[in-house]
Amino acid sequence: MAMVAQNNLLLKAASKQLCKAFGIRLVKDTQIVQLAKNASFDALFIDLEHSTLSLEDAGNLCRTGLQLGITPFVRVPWKCGDGFVQRVLDAGAMGVVFPHIQSQSDAEQAVAISKYPPFGRRSMTGSLPTFGLRKTPASTIMAESNANLSSVLLMVETKECVANIDAIASVKGVDVLLVGSNDLSLELGVPGEYKSREFQSALETISQACKKHGKMLGFAGVYENRELQEWAIQKLGAGFILGQQDSGLLARASVEVVNALEAIEGRQ
C-alpha cells in the first residue's frame, strides 16, 4: 500500500480546529518550510500569483512540506490555464488556490481540473509526490486524490464573487472560500478599511454562504491584527487563515532589529 500524505486542512476541519497557513512568496530555499513547521503552522500557502517563484521552486517547497507533514497549497496565477494547474498538482501540491473567482462556472471549472474522473478531468500520471513516488494503482490515486489530496480553495476578491457567493458555495468539491482582503476591499471602494461596514457586511454574506453549504471560510491579507483575526475566527467561523508571509515577517523583524539597535545607540 502506498504511503499517502495527510491533509491537515481536512483533519483540522474534522476536529473543528483552525488550520494555520504560512505564506511563501519570496524565499525559495526549502529550509523555510522547516522553519514554518518548527513554528507549528499546519499548511503552506505557496504564492505563484504575486511572486517570481517558479514551478520548480513550488514543487521543491511542496515536496519538502510533504516530507515534514505540513500541507502544501499553491496559489496559481489568474487564468494560468488547466495545464499549469495540472503541473502544480503533479509537482506535489495538495490543493490549489484559484484567484479572482467570479461565478459558479469558475468554481466548477476549478473543481474539474483539480479532480480525477468521475468528478473532474484531471489527467492521470504515476509516481506522484503525494504518494511518496511509489507505484500506486490508478484506482487508489483517483479515490485518495479526489477525497483528500486535491483541495480546492477559491479566492473571494470581487464584487461579482460576493454577489454570486451562494451559487459558488453550492459547488460540490469546493473546500474553502478564501477572502482576499486586500483586493476585496479595493473592489468595494474601501481599500484597507477592514472595519468599514462595506467590507464587514461582505464578509458576513460570505460566512453565511459557507455555513449554508458546508464550506470552510478562509481569511487572508490581514496579518498580525488580533482584533480582525479574532472577529473572522470567532464571529464568522473562519477555519483557515493565512497567518503571515515570509516577506512580511522579514520586513517587520528587520525594522524591529534596527529600532532596537538605534535605541541602544541613543543611550550612549
- Over the stretch 101-111, which tens digit does the pLDDT of each residue have? 999 999 999 99
pLDDT tens figures, 145-173: 999 999 999 999 999 999 999 999 999 99
Q: Does residue 200 lie in a domain region?
A: yes
pLDDT tens figures, 122-152: 999 888 999 999 999 999 999 999 999 999 9
- Given the residues 18, 30, 32, 50, select the one marked as catalytic: 50
pLDDT of residue 198 exceeding 70, the answer is: yes
pLDDT of residue 240 exceeding 60, the answer is: yes
Which CATH number do you get for residue 113?
3.20.20.60
Asked if 50 is an active-site residue, the reply is yes
Q: Does residue 242 lie in a domain region?
A: yes
Domain count, the chain: 1
**Cell of residue 204, nine digits:** 458576513
Which residue did the predictor score with more confidence, 127 or 91?
A: 91
Q: Does residue 1 lie in a domain region?
A: no
Q: Does residue 98 lie in a domain region?
A: yes
Q: Does residue 3 lie in a domain region?
A: no
At 1, the pLDDT band (50, 70, 90 cuts) reads very low
Average pLDDT for 228-254 = 96
Q: Does residue 100 lie in a domain region?
A: yes
Answer whether 0.85 is exceeded by the pTM: yes
Q: Does residue 267 lie in a domain region?
A: no
Q: Does residue 12 lie in a domain region?
A: yes
Where in the sequence is the domain holding 80, given as residue range(s)?
A: 8-261
